[in-house]
Amino acid sequence: MAKAQRVLVVGWDSAPPKELFEDWRKDMPNLDRLMNEGVHGLLRSTDPPITVPSWCSMMSSRNPGQLGFYGFRNRRVGEYTGKWIANAQAVKVDRVWDILSRYGKRSCVFNVPQTYPVKAINGVMISSFLTPSTESDYTYPKSLKADVERVSGGYIIDVDEFRTEDKAWLLDQIYQMTEKRFKVAQFLMQEKGPWDFFMMVYMGPDRLQHGFWKYIDKTHSKYEPGNPFENAARDYYVLLDQQLGELIAMAGPDTRIFVVSDHGAKRMDGSFNVNDWLIQEGLLTLKEPLTGVRRFSEEDVDWSRTLAWAWGGYYARIFMNVQGREPEGIVPADQYEAVRDDLVRRLEATTDHTGRVMRTRALKPQDIFTGPCNDAPDLFVYFDDLYWRAGQDVGHDSLHSFDTEIGPDDSVHDYDGILVMSPTGNAGSRVEGAQVMDIAPTILDTLGVPVPKEMEGKIIATD
């Protein structure tokens, strides 16, 4: 089927390919059926492979260098403090539903990241986790909110405080959120149609994987055989699979189904304290001596003696203190590339707690993006092939930590998410080389809508 009357996209944030395509496939009959009747494969995420910007790249077919944001929080180059959050206002390009609206096609957009503040579309929209609270107007049209609250019995924007040791509580919260989401999805499907494009993103998988990976992955250093949460993730995906089956049934015939994730997941081996490392290397100097661990703050930096500083997360962003660009820059502009190359060399030589040189990559935005790279950091750093996250706090006893400063978290993001698309020609085969920016043009093509020339991805061939 090259074209379809409708497209249903089910997003499982952070869903990992190996677990779904191999380990748990037999427990997920609906996903299995889609894989048999369609195609599946790895879906390469953006650089960096994180929720924002990946979902936006997927729906706009623009890389982060074009979008101008690289995570939830972003920095204005030339300012030391003052972060901005990349919500829907930061998205200056059309996403699939904007284009479909212009062609008179009706969309239901549900819980897709970066949709708050909501804006008018031909159809309905419920925003995602960057929504301030349920007191906000998080639906389009505004009148839909009352239905959402009624149908869900009190809507939940996200699982707050999912970095907790109380795993039973966390699991309960994730299930509650998921059940509420599904009730709303049923309502949208049955009461807010007809639609041409329906997209729903589940955040539960991401929250669950960060909270439970050490319980499910036998290769994790903290794994305990026979632990009570051994099957927590698999059981959750079984629930998602049941809901997937019901969504497919409600969508009806002549609908092409996409199951996608924005990135994958894998075990976290540790946290590399990147600002402590910069201090140790003499590249970052604080105004006061450190007494214990504390949150890194730009306000504590002695800029007259600082060449670079970092933001942490599942990857690190390195910012350089450049003369003429930063208020108190000290890196001479004509030595910018030399200093940056030196930073790359040093970062890629960093070692883990055993002295092993990690498989770290420090990437220049201009080498990985095609856009103007507005406000991009000077380097993106993936420690040890992403198995190590980047800790930005300062004052640790060691460069290596095994408990993160932000609360329990036992998985990191991986480069590849999942793609399942059905029905298609070549049923049961694998798709090779797909990446998130290919999804938007493939959706438009499926619905018979011309693909704007600005889109960077390609239509995924299915015959």
List contacts with other proteins (CB under 8 A): 71-73, 83, 85, 87, 89, 92, 101-106, 117-122, 125, 130-133, 136-137, 140-142, 158, 160-163, 313, 404-407, 409
- Only one residue has tokens 């639609």, namely 195
Distance from CA of residue 150 to its chain's centroid?
29
Nearer to other proteins, 42 or 121 (CB): 121
Neighbouring C-beta atoms of residue 360, cutoff 10 Å: 21
- Backbone torsions φ then ψ of 291, nearest 5 degrees: -130, 90
Nearer to other proteins, 73 or 364 (CB): 73
Residues 270, 245 contacting (CB under 8 angstroms):
no
Nearest distance from C-beta of residue 141 to other proteins, angstroms: 6
Nearest distance from C-beta of residue 122 to other proteins, angstroms: 5
Nearer to other proteins, 313 or 417 (CB): 313
Nearest distance from C-beta of residue 453 to other proteins, angstroms: 10
Nearer to other proteins, 141 or 324 (CB): 141
Nearest distance from C-beta of residue 129 to other proteins, angstroms: 8
Nearer to other proteins, 161 or 172 (CB): 161
Nearest distance from C-beta of residue 35 to other proteins, angstroms: 33
Close Cβ partners of 83 (under 8 Å, ≥ 6 residues apart):
73, 74, 75
Give the integer Cα–Cα distance in Å for 188 and 277.
50
Nearer to other proteins, 87 or 360 (CB): 87
Nearest distance from C-beta of residue 187 to other proteins, angstroms: 19
Nearer to other proteins, 90 or 459 (CB): 90
Torsion of CA 240, 243, 245, 251, to 10 degrees: -130
Nearest distance from C-beta of residue 85 to other proteins, angstroms: 6
Nearest distance from C-beta of residue 104 to other proteins, angstroms: 3
Nearer to other proteins, 6 or 105 (CB): 105
